[in-house]
Amino acid sequence: MDEELLKKIKEKYEAQGEDPNVYLKGLLHQKPVNYWEYIDVETLLSLQRTKTGYHDETVFIVYHQITELVLKLMIHELKVLTGEETPSHDVMVDKLSRLNRYTSMLINSFAVMTRGMSYDDYNEFRMSLAPASGFQSAQFRLIELYCTDMKNLIHDSVKKDVPQDAGTRELFDYLYWQQAGYDRKTGKKSLMLRQFEDKYLDEFVELAERMKTRNLDVRSAHYNPDNPEDKKVINALRVFDRAYNIDWPIVHLETANTYLAKKGAKKRATGSSDWQKYLHPAYQRRKFFPKVWSSAELENWAKDRL
Ligand code: HEM
């Protein structure tokens, strides 16, 4: 028996005013760890509850769940990057590399959707899912708020309409994503958008407030492109911005085109947006870190993908 280890265990519990013998006895009775309980495999595999009998609906649910897990990994790192403590240069590079790996996973696996379902089955079972849409992914919106200022999420054409004194909650009505569910002529929001805001808007407002002084875009301002070490961070931010806001949206849009625009007609999406326009990054122009791009790069955002 390692005496030093026993001494450390004794010290640990005594420092908490606890009797170390109780904890050592607990160890004696503890069952060995196994994979299925630790990973909670049974719970995980019980979460694919289809709404129809179509075989490919399982592919659709599982792939959305995989995406939500990857988004969770991204938020896990973004919390460190935007924490109260400013991250060191090394932490910035390491965490940004992780974000870039996770985004590559999303881009490289999207063929599971694009090519992995029967066109006819999809166009049947999707009717049972209205008005739900991937648009209602809260983690997707949280990532935006961790990454950038709200002003960067407002389309240029809408900026003139934003009142000077708009508070955080009011600003949400001008964000680019309102376009997918808001009819400016009637002033009405779609059911899909209303459901989403009823459920999550309070959480979004709270995060946007907290991130005002420390979102990733604010933190990126500390890096100087003329310094070779800082350049690593700036390059990683550029890779991330392009992958998350151009390459991933493009594979997603290709999928929507495959299922909703094949065979001639442009079908109405379950979330009912003018999706071919809305989803294209050259139209949407969402970007997180404008400071790391030249004005020509900003002007031509995603135009090469039109
Ligand atoms: C067959 C597969 C898919 C199709 C046809 C599709 C279609 C669409 C459409 C048409 C929209 C626009 C909103 C609407 O009118 O509903 C949308 C938005 C969105 N979808 Fe999908 N989608 C698919 C798969 C996915 C997957 C696997 C995810 C991963 C979670 C996802 C995440 C999103 C997100 C985050 C948005 C909002 C994008 C934004 O606001 O820029 N979609 N999707």
**Per-residue model confidence as pLDDT tens digits over 202-216:** 999 999 999 999 999
**pLDDT reading at 263 higher than 80:** no
**pLDDT reading at 267 higher than 90:** no
Give, using CA atoms, the residue closest to atom 42 of ligand 1.
134
pTM more than 0.85? yes
Provide the residue count of the chain: 306
What Å distances lie between residue 155 and 150, 284, 286, 293, CA to CA? 11, 7, 8, 17
What is the gyration radius of the CA atoms in the chain, in angstroms? 23
Pocket test for ligand 1, best of 279, 283, 284 (most atoms within 8 A of CB): 279
Looking at residue 133, its pLDDT comes to 96
CA–centroid distance, 71 to ligand 1, in Å, is 14
Give, using CA atoms, the residue closest to atom 27 of ligand 1.
64
Looking at residue 269, its pLDDT comes to 81
Q: By three-state DSSP, how is residue 271 classified?
A: coil
Kindly state if the Cβ of 63 falls inside 6 Å of ligand 1: yes
CATH number of 56-305: 1.20.58
Kindly state if the Cβ of 175 falls inside 6 Å of ligand 1: no
Torsions phi, psi for 182 (to 5 deg): -130, 125
**pLDDT reading at 286 higher than 80:** yes
Average per-residue pLDDT in the chain?
A: 95
Atom of ligand 1 at shortest distance to CA of 68?
Answer: 30
Q: In the structure, what pLDDT confidence band is assigned to residue 273 with cuts at 50, 70 and 90?
A: confident
Rounded average pLDDT over 250-264: 91
pLDDT in tens, 90-132: 999 999 999 999 999 999 999 999 999 999 999 999 999 999 9
Q: In the structure, what pLDDT confidence band is assigned to residue 182 with cuts at 50, 70 and 90?
A: confident
Atom of ligand 1 at shortest distance to CA of 137?
Answer: 35
**pLDDT reading at 191 higher than 90:** yes
Give, using CA atoms, the residue closest to atom 20 of ligand 1.
134
CA–centroid distance, 251 to ligand 1, in Å, is 11
Kindly state if the Cβ of 196 falls inside 6 Å of ligand 1: no
For residue 185, the tally of other CB atoms under 10 A from its CB is 5
**pLDDT reading at 264 higher than 70:** no
Looking at residue 184, its pLDDT comes to 67
Atom of ligand 1 at shortest distance to CA of 177?
Answer: 40
**Could you give the residue ranges of the DSSP H alpha helices within the chain?**
3-15, 20-29, 35-39, 41-45, 57-81, 89-109, 111-114, 119-125, 138-147, 156-159, 168-171, 191-211, 216-220, 228-242, 248-260, 275-278, 281-284, 295-299
Q: In the structure, what pLDDT confidence band is assigned to residue 249 with cuts at 50, 70 and 90?
A: very high
Looking at residue 165, its pLDDT comes to 97
Give, using CA atoms, the residue closest to atom 31 of ligand 1.
134
